[in-house]
Each structure stands twice: as C-alpha cells, then as structure tokens.
Amino acid sequence: MTKFKNTKLAAAGLIALTALGACGERKAEITTSAPGPVVEAPAPTPNEQLETMALRHAAAVLRASPEAATQLGVGEDLAGEGFRARLGGYGFAAFEEARARNESFLQDIRSIDRSALSGQALITYDVLRDAYQTGARRNQFAFGGAVSFASTSPYLVTQLSGPHILLPRIMLTQHRMENRQDAEDYLSRLTEFSRVFDETIETISGDGAQLVTPPLFALDGSLNTIAGFTAPPAAENPLVATFAAKLENIAGLTAEERAEFTARAAATVEASVYPAYARLAAALENLKQQAGTDAGIWRLGDDGAAFYAHALAAYGAGGMLPDEVHELGLAEVARISGEMDAILKAQGLASGAVAERFAAVGARAGMRYANDDAGRDVLLSDLNGQVTELMARAGDWFGTLPTQPVEVRRIPVYEQDSSPGGYYSAASLDGTRPGIFWINLKNTADWPKHMLKTLTYHEAAPGHHFQRSLERGAGLPVIRTMLGYSEFSEGWALYAEQVAAEMGMYADDPLGDLGRLQSELFRAARLVVDSGLHHKQWTREQAIDYMQGITGDTRDQVTREVERYAVWPGQACSYKLGMIKINELRQQAEEALGADFDIREFHDEVLMTGAMPLPVLERKIDRWIKEKQGA
C-alpha cells in the first residue's frame, strides 16, 4: 500500500477504503494482498480545528445572506451555488434562524481549548468569542431583527438603513455584471424585492406591536427615500438605467439582447419592485401613528436603558457608564477647543466662540466649491489628488501598504437626502471592485475646502481604506473580514487623521489643520450628544443646538448627524473611544521600547491582524512589546 503524501489525501484514501470494505468480496481482495504500513491521518491541531470551524461559520452566514457574499466578493464555493440570483431573509423565520445560528457558533467556540492555540489563531478565537457573545446579548432583545454575530441597530428600517436602501446599493454598485448569467441573476434578484419587502413589513409590524418604532423623523426620512427612489418612471429608475449601461460592457450580447434584458428589468421594476416599495411605505405610514418625536432609546423604558448599556459596551466603552462617557466627551471638547483657539488667534480671529470663528473661516471667499456639477467634478478631482499625495509619503509611516486602489465618488442623488456626509465601502476580495470613499455632495456648502483633506484621510487613505484593505489582504479567515468593530475601524480612521498631520500633510496648511481639529472636536461632541440623547433624555433639537454650537457646522449637516445617532445608539461614541485607546497603546509602546520603537511596525501590528475588540488589541500589543523586549 502506497503511503499518502499529505493528510488531505490520507483522509480521502481512508474514506475510500472504508467504503470498499462494505463489499465482502472486495474486502477479501484487500486483506489478502501484500501487507504494508497503514498511515493514518494525524488529528488536526487546535489551530486547524479553529480554522475549519471559522470557515464553516462563514459559509453558514454567507449562504443565509447572499447580500453579504456579494459585498465581500466571494464565490459559490463559499456562498453556495446560484447565490448571486438570491436575496436573504428579513422576516420572523430568518431572524429566528439567525438567533439559533449564533447560539450554535457560541457553543462551537467554547468547545475549543484556547490555551492550545497560538499566533493568529489565538486572536481569531478571542475575536470570534467576543462577536458571538455580543450577538447573544443583542439577541435577547426581541425587536429590530436578530444577528448571527456582533451587534446592530434596534430598528430594521430607518432613514439610514434597511433593505429599501441596502438592496439598490448592492445591485447598482456591487452586483457582478461580467456575462449573460450575471444579467440573468440581476433580474432574478429584482423579482426577490417583493418577498424581501413583505418580510420586512412583517418584522417592523411585529416590532410596532411591541411599541418599538423609530422616531417620527426617522420614519419620515425613510418615506422620503422611498418617494425619491420610486419617483422616476420604471424605465428611468437607477435599477434599470444602470443595468442597461452595464449591459453595454458584456461581450457577446447583441443590441437586441441588451434591449430585451433592459425591457425585462423595467417590467420587473414596474410590476414588482415599485409595488413592494409602496407596501413598505404604507406600513411605515401606519407606524407613524404611534411614533413620537423623542429621539433617544430611553423612551423604550427598561429595555431602552438595557439596550443602550449593551450598545456602549459593544462599541468600545468597556465598563464605562453612560455618565462617564458623557463627562469624557465634555473634557475632550474643552481640550480640542483650546487647540483650535490657538490657531484661530494666529489667523487674526481672537474674539467670539470657537465655533463662530471656525464658521467665519469657512465663510471666506473661495472656501466653497460651486454647488453645480462642474463644481462637484472639481471637488472630486481635488480629493482624489489628495489621496495620491498622501500615498507618496505613506511608506515612511506604514510597513505594509494596500495593493487595492481607492477612489472618491459621489453618493447617488437618490440616497443623498438621508445619507451621512461620507462613508467607505471596501474593495472586493476578488479585486474587481476598488475601495470607494462616497461623499455626500447634495450641497457643496456643507464642505468648506479646509475640511475636506481630513475627511479624505479618514474615509480613504490612511483611514478606512488602509484598515479594510490590509485586513482583507492579510490571509485572515473569511469570517474575520465579515465582522465589524466600529471602535477599531472608526477609531483607526480618526487616529489616521492625526497620523496624516504627523506625516506633514498640513505643514503649510494651518487652516487644513484647523479642519482636522474640528473633525476631532466633532467626534468628541458625539460622546456628549449620544449619551445625551439616549441616557440624559435630550431632545433632538437640544442635541442639534449643542452640536452646532460646539462645531460650527451647518444646521442641515448637524441635523443629519444627530438623526443618525438617534437610530444607531452607541456607535457615534466608537470613534473617539477607539482613537483614545490606540493612542494609549502607542504611547505605552513608545515608552517601553524607546529607540527600538518603529512607527511602521506599530501600525502593522494594529492593522495586519484585522479588526478586533479593543481588549483583544490591547493584549496583542502587550505581547508584541514583550517580544520586542526579548521577554
């Protein structure tokens, strides 16, 4: 008998022999042949057990959520055959399955001996255990759906999130369109909108029966998005127009075939998609009857207080109480305002509140781009140029640079009314889609020129694009790339703004540095406003007044931000909490290592093993410091 050359082949061979042994005659042939050594496959190591488990968990989630598989850019080997033609579940049954899945994952992770793990596997274990435990705590709340791991908003549909926004975004920017089958899959997904929206209605109506609804302004924002998206004739809807444009790039399609595909898409939008949106709008209108104007989750009583405590812990507060988060925010607002005051005085602006003087800088002639398509094109060109300039210096500050490109694009017009100022979508795993920094250009007056550098450094390089791209290129288990830790990713992006200043990007640009400080002030004010809304029972208007008075931003911009915090408790705190922790760890490493400290190594240590909860990051940096010290 020939010895097997690797364990995978050995296992396959032993399975084959077992199967043959079921036939008596064939079994006799084998047992009477010349004897030889039998090599059994070695038992998998603990690290290998964890790797296998993590892959199985990822496949389970991706098969239940084809949308996530599309966003990641994985293949059918992991997400299941035909996943590109399907959409996931949004009703009671789907969320019960998610609860059960998370509980199963939690039991699996507990079956592995952590003390036997090493290297990356040890970090993965800690990350997954935290994710599943956080998911279990989230799933104790019987509203807003359920999760397979980690945490989420208490509401399924808001002005910021929900299938009415998510699905068009995936279809228009992330659904693969390379061949005829991709086009057929696109049309199949369009037909799924009807089911998805009916299941969504089931969930939000069930929440409504528990008196859990988003605030009135969030419902109005959702309805405005729906109205804007469904306003054009079906043939002119982005779901059809963008589809038709992409068909032009598919080789082998005749003009007649492209016209037929486009007509089918328009017919589906008319007969299925638009009616689904109309049903969802009607359900949201019904909920308005019981929705109030109170913005904070405190209005849910004991459940609201418990959910906020869970949310703060999930977003990096650790054991801090809401009052402590509030006080931290006030202290940081005072510190950063003092630094801004010094720059403003150097600019000849010595009197008045910091916010007023900052706004006065932005009101100067030439500080705004023209609020038309030509002005928007210039703005986007400038931002893409800032990315190029930073990348030319990045090698001195980062040991590893992303291989995927990043682009700055405008948020689609139909989304801009309810979208934040900007956000990042990661490059696909298969390399076919770049990282994208999406910026809201509804009104260019929201973006004085001295603020845009910092926004670019946060959303693109060296912020979110570095973190997400290096994570995806580090060979992590797929499930690690699916997990989001806002305190890590947003904390890193805010820290990246500071690093850009250290790199000299503002050396000859004091107003740009003033914009950077205002960005940090904005995140410090979030600590105050988030805890004010959800714990201290601030009104929406009270939060808007405070934030505008501190930051000097336009009222429209501040209003969008406050309304975001209202429907996503705790998340707004993650930026500053994460930045503070990363700076603490850097200072700890600098003091411990002295001349042996290398900022490029530190940044690699933070970034190259993926997003993680802050306690896991702290343990990792502690181990790295000891290794550098030779302990």
Query: Quick check: 267 and 260 in contact, CB under 8 A?
Result: no
Of residues 273, 163, 288, the one with CA closest to residue 219: 288
> Could you give the angle at the alpha carbon of 123 between the alpha carbons of 118 and 128, nearest 5°?
125
Q: Output the 3-class SS for 543-570.
A: HHHHHHHHHCCCHHHHHHHHHHHHHCCC
Query: Quick check: 276 and 197 in contact, CB under 8 A?
Result: yes
Q: Is the pLDDT confidence value at 27 over 50? A: no
233, burial (CB in 10 Å: exposed 0-12, middle 13-18, buried 19+): exposed
d(CA 304, CA 440): 31
Number of helices (H) and strands (E) in the chain: give both, helices first.
27, 3
The three-class DSSP label of residue 619 is helix
CB atoms within 10 A of CB 517: 25
d(CA 381, CA 626): 45
Mean pLDDT of the chain: 92
What integer pLDDT is reported at residue 16 of this predicted model?
29
What integer pLDDT is reported at residue 553 of this predicted model?
85
> Whole-model pTM?
0.85
d(CA 487, CA 476): 19
Of residues 414, 441, 418, 413, the one with CA closest to residue 218: 418
Q: Is the pLDDT confidence value at 431 over 80? A: no
d(CA 166, CA 597): 43
The three-class DSSP label of residue 407 is strand
Give the pLDDT band (50/70/90) at residue 33: very low
CA 115 to chain centre: 31
pLDDT 10s digits, 241-271: 999 999 999 999 999 999 999 999 999 999 9
For 74, 111, 302, 429, 537, the CA distances from 249, given in Å and listed in that order, are 22, 50, 55, 22, 53
In this structure, the strands spanning 406-410 and 435-439 are parallel
Token pair, residue 483, equals 């997990």
Of residues 337, 332, 305, the one with CA closest to residue 531: 305
Token pair, residue 211, equals 């008196």
pLDDT 10s digits, 483-541: 989 999 999 999 999 999 999 999 999 999 999 999 999 999 999 999 999 999 999 99
From its phi and psi, is residue 574 left (phi > 0), alpha (psi between -120 and 50) or beta? Answer: alpha
d(CA 55, CA 70): 17
For 21, 448, 519, 593, the CA distances from 452, given in Å and listed in that order, are 71, 7, 10, 35
Backbone torsions φ then ψ of 457, nearest 5 degrees: -65, -30
DSSP for 331-389, please give it. HHHHHHHHHHHHHHHHTT--SS-HHHHHHHHHTSTT-S--SSHHHHHHHHHHHHHHHHH
119, burial (CB in 10 Å: exposed 0-12, middle 13-18, buried 19+): exposed
pLDDT 10s digits, 173-230: 999 999 999 999 999 999 999 999 999 999 999 999 999 999 999 999 999 999 999 9
Query: Quick check: 237 and 269 in contact, CB under 8 A?
Result: yes
Give the pLDDT band (50/70/90) at residue 36: low
Tell which wins on pLDDT, 148 or 19: 148
d(CA 462, CA 496): 6
pLDDT 10s digits, 70-125: 998 999 999 999 999 999 999 999 999 999 999 999 999 999 999 999 999 999 99
582-586 CB contacts, 8 Å cutoff, 24+ apart: 582/491, 582/492, 582/495, 582/606, 582/617, 583/495, 583/498, 585/617, 585/618, 585/621
Of residues 504, 408, 403, the one with CA closest to residue 455: 408
Q: Is the pLDDT confidence value at 24 over 50? A: no
Name the helix (H) or strand (E) containing 286.
helix 274-287
Contacts of 460 by beta carbon, 8 Å cutoff, 6+ apart: 383, 387, 406, 408, 424, 435, 437
Query: Quick check: 481 and 472 in contact, CB under 8 A?
Result: yes
CA atoms within 13 A on the CB side of 627: 10
